[in-house]
């Protein structure tokens, strides 16, 4: 087991890629804090892990709220005593073109997708520094690398996240902590499956592998970065996109 006895916090773990990661980490022996803003979703995934013989703690958290994040960290420490892995996976969409994007929707996406990552990382990092070990994985997106129509707020947040990843890799690397980013492409989550068929088809045509990715394929990238197999990988941005950025 690659993560035996490791303690992992995964935000946005109630569905999609986060859920896949929570289940995968548990399979590899991690004790998983399933964190999500939707209480029932977090509970369902934690129950699924426990039903399969794993150890999990469900936590309701709003990553944009620093008090909520601090409470999450304290809850995990109270349960397991330390934190080895943080996967900053939580994110939202509020798409609109520049001329139609409201300030409210711009701020909402930045608050969750960018500041939320800052909140969680700053809350967890001191505990990792104290132990001289940690794995921090940030979920960016391929659109951070090439932009996307109608996603000023989302692209700004995901591109900023890559910048933060590289800063933290420099700052925390000397403390025994690696910080990396994963940039998923067109992944078959529930949100993506709701896209009109003709739009989905057009997007798939841009992918060299000619298909959508599966959440587990992103989760496996998280797993590798969280494991000791990636102990010398720091400040990297790994695209899991079927070759769409090539």
Percent of the chain with pLDDT over 90: 92
193 occurs within a structural domain: no
199 occurs within a structural domain: no
1 occurs within a structural domain: no
Confidence (pLDDT) at 35: 99
* Residue 232 annotated as catalytic: no
Cα 202 off chain centre by: 26
Domain CATH code at residue 132: 3.40.50.720
Q: How confident is the model at residue 14 (pLDDT cuts 50, 70, 90)?
A: very high
- Exposure string over 38-61, b if 16+ CB within 10 A, otherwise e: eeebbbbbbebbeeeebbbbbbbb
Write out pLDDT tens, residues 154-189.
999 999 999 999 999 999 999 999 999 999 999 998
Task: Tell me the average pLDDT across 127-147.
Answer: 97
Tokens of 159: 């591109």
Q: How confident is the model at residue 194 (pLDDT cuts 50, 70, 90)?
A: low
39 occurs within a structural domain: yes
Whether pLDDT at 195 is above 80: no
Look at 69 and 149; give whichever has higher pLDDT: 69
Q: How many domains does the chain have?
A: 1
Confidence (pLDDT) at 237: 98
The average confidence (pLDDT) of the chain is 96
Q: How confident is the model at residue 245 (pLDDT cuts 50, 70, 90)?
A: confident
197 occurs within a structural domain: no
The DSSP letter of residue 83 is -
Look at 211 and 202; give whichever has higher pLDDT: 211
Write out pLDDT tens, residues 18-74.
999 999 999 999 999 999 999 999 999 999 999 999 999 999 999 999 999 999 999
| Segment among 73-77, 79-83, 144-148 with least mean pLDDT | 144-148
Contact 137/222 with Cβ under 8 angstroms? yes
Indicate which residue of 133, 154, 222, 232 is catalytic: 154
206 occurs within a structural domain: no
Confidence (pLDDT) at 53: 98
Gap between the Cα atoms of 127 and 135, Å rounded: 12
Residue 128 vs residues 55, 66, 70, 121, 209: alpha-carbon distances, Å: 21, 18, 15, 10, 38
Task: Tell me the average pLDDT across 117-128.
Answer: 98
162 lies in which domain range?
Answer: 7-187+216-238
Whether pLDDT at 227 is above 70: yes
Look at 224 and 201; give whichever has higher pLDDT: 224
Confidence (pLDDT) at 203: 84
Confidence (pLDDT) at 199: 75
204 occurs within a structural domain: no
Percent of the chain with pLDDT over 70: 99
228 occurs within a structural domain: yes
> Is pTM, for the whole model, over 0.95?
yes
């Amino acid at each position: 087991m690659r993560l035996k006895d490791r303690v992992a916090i995964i935000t946005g773990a109630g569905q999609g890629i986060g859920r896949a990661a929570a289940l995968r980490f548990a399979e590899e022996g991690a004790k998983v804090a399933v964190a999500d803003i939707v209480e029932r979703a977090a509970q369902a995934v934690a129950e699924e892990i426990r039903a399969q013989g794993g150890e999990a703690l469900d936590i309701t958290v709003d990553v944009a709220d620093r008090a909520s994040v601090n409470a999450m960290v304290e809850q995990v420490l109270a349960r397991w005593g330390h934190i080895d892995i943080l996967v900053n996976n939580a994110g939202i969409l509020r798409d609109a073109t520049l001329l139609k994007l409201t300030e409210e929707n711009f701020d909402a996406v930045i608050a969750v997708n960018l500041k939320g990552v800052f909140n969680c990382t700053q809350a967890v990092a001191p505990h990792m520094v104290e132990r001289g070990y940690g794995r921090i994985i940030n979920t960016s997106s391929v659109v951070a690398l090439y932009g996307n129509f109608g996603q000023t707020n989302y692209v700004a947040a995901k591109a900023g996240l890559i910048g933060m990843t590289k800063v933290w890799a420099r700052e925390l690397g000397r403390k025994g902590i690696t910080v990396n980013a994963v940039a998923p492409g067109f992944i078959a989550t529930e949100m993506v499956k709701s896209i009109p068929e003709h739009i989905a088809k057009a997007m798939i045509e841009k992918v060299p592998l000619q298909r959508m990715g599966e959440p587990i394929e992103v989760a496996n990238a998280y797993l590798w970065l969280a494991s000791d197999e990636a102990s010398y990988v720091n400040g990297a941005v790994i695209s899991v996109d079927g070759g769409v950025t090539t």
